């Protein structure tokens, strides 16, 4: 009630004071097809003003926008690249998601809010938004492998419509440019978090909510073994075979393999163990469905 009153007041205030020309009705801007996704390793990125069309937000002075899309490998100087904007944008996004969720879920306790925020601001979530809206095409960089990594990521997310929860590797640079662009808009619009949310709230859809959020597989496996009083071990064979094994009460229950990051092999091992749990151990997993439990 009180929360609703606050939201109404806020809404009214935004609508009165926003001098921003955002036509939300037109906000349907996606890259043509995933096959066409590519990044340039040279100067021939498409013109940056197209980003303004994607954002429905105009920078009269393009300086901040240019910075937001410039990786240090491109300009050779940290003072001209996006890192500092990314740092600020990260904090802005964190606040925006916290604020939204505080009012949307008045009975959700901080532990659950924290998980819900984490999956909405992590590298995978932001990289997905970058690819979905084609923002990666404007990143100016000289990282020879990045184009390929983006291609791989784009294929990988097709398997996980919402979020993989740690099972795929998101190119950090894609998440970075979403954060740096948030930072750029925040500074350019004179620090209005309302304007930033108007610009990026839609861009980050679908926002993961208490119904769609999933536990991280490693957390879920730990909790499951604790509840059922089972001994859980992760066996790190990453150096030898790019793999991590899971033993529960000394029984082999799952394996994860991933070459370029041990953490992902670890997460995949947990996921595999969860899938094999009932079959291998003969123990029901009936309690593992609860995503976020509301209070009361």
CB-nearer residue toward a copy of itself: 76 or 144: 76
Q: Bin 173: left if φ > 0, else alpha if -120 < ψ < 50, else beta.
A: alpha
Q: Give the residue ranges of DSSP H helices in the chain.
A: 2-17, 49-55, 63-68, 72-75, 83-104, 110-121, 123-132, 146-157, 172-188, 193-203, 217-227, 238-241, 262-281
CB-nearer residue toward a copy of itself: 30 or 87: 87
Of 6, 172, 227, 251, the one binding a copy of itself by CB under 8 A: 6
The span from the CA of 78 to the CA of 153, in Å, is: 27
123 lies in the site for a copy of itself, by CB under 8 A? no
19 lies in the site for a copy of itself, by CB under 8 A? no
10 lies in the site for a copy of itself, by CB under 8 A? yes
Nearest Cα residue to 156 out of 260, 40, 47, 19: 260
Residue 264 C-beta: closest distance to a copy of itself, Å: 24
Site for a copy of itself in 276-295 (CB under 8 A): 295
Residue 233 C-beta: closest distance to a copy of itself, Å: 20
Token readout for 190 is 């004179």
Token readout for 89 is 């944008």
261 lies in the site for a copy of itself, by CB under 8 A? no
CB-nearer residue toward a copy of itself: 169 or 176: 176
Residue 56 C-beta: closest distance to a copy of itself, Å: 22
CB-nearer residue toward a copy of itself: 164 or 173: 173
The span from the CA of 92 to the CA of 130, in Å, is: 17
Residue 191 C-beta: closest distance to a copy of itself, Å: 6
118 lies in the site for a copy of itself, by CB under 8 A? no
CB-nearer residue toward a copy of itself: 123 or 247: 123
What residue has token string 């492998």?
Answer: 145
CB-nearer residue toward a copy of itself: 102 or 285: 102
193 lies in the site for a copy of itself, by CB under 8 A? yes
The span from the CA of 131 to the CA of 121, in Å, is: 15
The span from the CA of 22 to the CA of 119, in Å, is: 27
| Sheet hosting strand 243-248, strand order edge to edge | 232-237, 243-248, 251-257
Of 46, 49, 80, 191, the one binding a copy of itself by CB under 8 A: 191
Contact status, residue 39 vs residue 150, Cβ threshold 8 Å: yes
114 lies in the site for a copy of itself, by CB under 8 A? yes
Total residues belonging to the chain: 296
Site for a copy of itself in 54-113 (CB under 8 A): 61, 63, 78-79, 83-84, 86-88, 90-92, 94-95, 98-99, 102, 107, 109-110, 113
9 lies in the site for a copy of itself, by CB under 8 A? yes
Contacts of 98 (CB under 8 A, 6+ apart): 113, 117
* Residues near a copy of itself, by CB under 8 A: 2, 6, 9-10, 13, 61, 63, 78-79, 83-84, 86-88, 90-92, 94-95, 98-99, 102, 107, 109-110, 113-114, 187, 190-191, 193-194, 295
């Amino acid at each position: 009630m009180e929360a609703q009153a606050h939201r109404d007041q806020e809404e009214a205030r935004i609508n009165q004071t926003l001098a921003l020309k955002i036509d939300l009705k037109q906000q349907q801007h996606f890259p043509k097809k995933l096959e066409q996704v590519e990044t340039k390793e040279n100067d021939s990125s498409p013109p940056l003003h197209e980003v303004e069309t994607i954002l429905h937000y105009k920078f009269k002075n393009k300086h901040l926008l240019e910075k937001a899309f410039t990786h240090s490998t491109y300009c050779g100087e940290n003072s001209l690249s996006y890192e500092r904007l990314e740092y600020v944008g990260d904090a802005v996004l964190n606040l925006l998601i916290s604020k939204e969720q505080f009012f949307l879920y008045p009975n959700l306790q901080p532990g659950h809010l924290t998980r819900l925020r984490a999956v909405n601001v992590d590298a995978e979530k932001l990289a997905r938004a970058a690819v979905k809206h084609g923002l990666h095409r404007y990143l100016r960089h000289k990282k020879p492998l990045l184009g390929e990594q983006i291609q791989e990521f784009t294929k990988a997310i097709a398997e996980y419509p919402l979020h993989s929860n740690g099972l795929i590797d998101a190119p950090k640079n894609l998440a970075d440019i979403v954060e740096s662009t948030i930072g750029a808009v925040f500074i350019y619009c004179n620090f209005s978090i309302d304007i930033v949310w108007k610009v990026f709230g839609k861009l980050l859809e679908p926002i993961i909510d208490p119904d769609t959020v999933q536990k991280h597989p490693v957390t879920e496996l730990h909790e499951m073994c604790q509840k059922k009083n089972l001994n859980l071990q992760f066996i790190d064979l990453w150096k030898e075979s790019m793999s991590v094994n899971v033993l529960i009460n000394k029984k082999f229950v799952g394996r994860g393999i991933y070459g370029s990051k041990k953490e992902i092999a670890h997460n995949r091992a947990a996921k595999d163990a969860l899938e094999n749990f009932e079959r291998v151990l003969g123990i029901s997993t009936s309690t593992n469905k609860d995503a976020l439990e509301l209070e009361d």
